Structure 1
Amino acid sequence: MSPTHRNNRTIFRWYTVTKAIVLFGLWLTLSGKVDALHLGYGVASVTVVMWITRDLMLTKLSPSDSAALAHTRWAAALTYPCWLLGQIVWANIAVAKLILSPRMSIAPTFLQLNTPTSSSIPQVILGNSITLTPGTVTLEADHGRFVIHALQKHSTDSLQALAKRVSDLFGEPTNGPIQVTTFDTEKGSERR
């Protein structure tokens, strides 16, 4: 058995166990009952969901995705959703102020974010995180290059922080700076 295949099997086992525990915990939380009948329903439900979703993820990982999951910093994975939620709340407040301001200083722009991310899992996490944050939308993601529409040009700092956080989450070194390039929407030219 090759080391890559063995590594994929280990990741798949951890994923399966974690998924079952999370699903059963969700069942217990939503049911609120811990008698034998309800626990039996919970086990049956989790078993059915696990069987139905068995081929949805992690069955055909590329070597780079397998490496990204193997190097995931699990403490960071637990804190990332809370951090992202905080960023979403602050971005909501900023966008509301921007829109409700009498001056309405909206300056839509296109940004290109270049990251050293090599595997698809961190790219999907980063692209979705950017889109979830109000005021920014990921238009394209390709091999670590993201094209983003933003309501203001000063979104670059928060995008760099987000990209660094995702890179740290998957233990990927930031080989060089995370670059953000601004495209002038009126002239179609690019500025750094």
Structure 2
Amino acid sequence: MRLPIRSRAAKGLLRPDRQQAGGSMAKAIGLSVALFALWLTLSGFFKPFLLMLGVLSCLLTLYLAFRMKLLDDEAVPIQLRPALLLYWGWLGGEIFKSAMAVSKIILAREMALQQQLIAVPVTQKTDMGHVIFANSITLTPGTVTVETRPGLFLVHALTESAADADGFAEMGRRVAEIEAR
């Protein structure tokens, strides 16, 4: 026997949908702001007509994402914002230091390569945390995440110093902090 919609609403059974709608609205706003910021950065146009076209293209993209049911925590991770910005700053410094080390090896008369594959333990609990950690390893010059398995990544390191377990542990800890916030 079906209950009429009014009786379900009166009993408060529709509240979770309202909460999801609020979260979905926050994700939609976050995605639209991010899309417009990206559009503005890549185009560099500040003329009113072109700004209007940029807003319209972002709204169309947002509409399509909504229709495709893509506004979830994985697609629009608004919970990661503040901590992720700090992490990007730290990661940028690590990428620079690693790039300098790899450049020294490449420019040396005899390249001192000590390539190795190492298993890096993964402590992140979400798929987003795994992706951030694996991509951070790959973005750092001299290391590439080759394979992912439950609980560990297989990483190719160009040198012995790039295969430093403490460096991977620090990176993993920082990514886990982003996840926790």
Give the TM-score of the pair, scaled to structure 1: 0.70
Give the unaligned 5+ runs of structure 1: 173-192
1:32 aligns with 2:39: no
Alpha-carbon separation, structure 2, partners of 1:87 and 1:135:
11
User: What secondary structure does 2:146 align onto?
Assistant: strand
Structure 1 runs (4+) greater than 6 angstroms displaced? 2-7
Query: Which residue in 2 is equivalent to 1:122?
Result: 129
Compute the displacement of 1:56 (Å). 7.5
Give yes or no for contact 1:118–1:144 (8 Å, CA) kept in 2.
Answer: no
**1:122-161 equivalences in 2 (<5 Å):** 122-154=129-161, 155-156=163-164, 157-161=166-170
Compute the displacement of 1:4 (Å). 8.3
Query: Which residue in 2 is equivalent to 1:170?
Result: 179
Alpha-carbon separation, structure 2, partners of 1:160 and 1:7:
37
1:84 aligns with 2:94: no
Alpha-carbon separation, structure 2, partners of 1:116 and 1:6:
34
User: RMSD over aligned Cα, in angstroms?
Assistant: 3.0
Give the TM-score of the pair, scaled to structure 2: 0.74
Query: Which residue in 2 is equivalent to 1:18?
Result: 30
User: What secondary structure does 1:23 align onto?
Assistant: helix
Alpha-carbon separation, structure 2, partners of 1:133 and 1:4:
42
The size of the alignment, in residue pairs, is 164
CA distance 1:15–1:103, change in 2 (3 Å): same
| Amino acid corresponding to residue 24 of structure 1 in structure 2 | F
Give yes or no for contact 2:134–2:145 (8 Å, CA) kept in 1.
Answer: yes
Identity %: 29
Query: Which residue in 1 is equivalent to 2:112?
Result: 105
Alpha-carbon separation, structure 2, partners of 1:130 and 1:2:
44
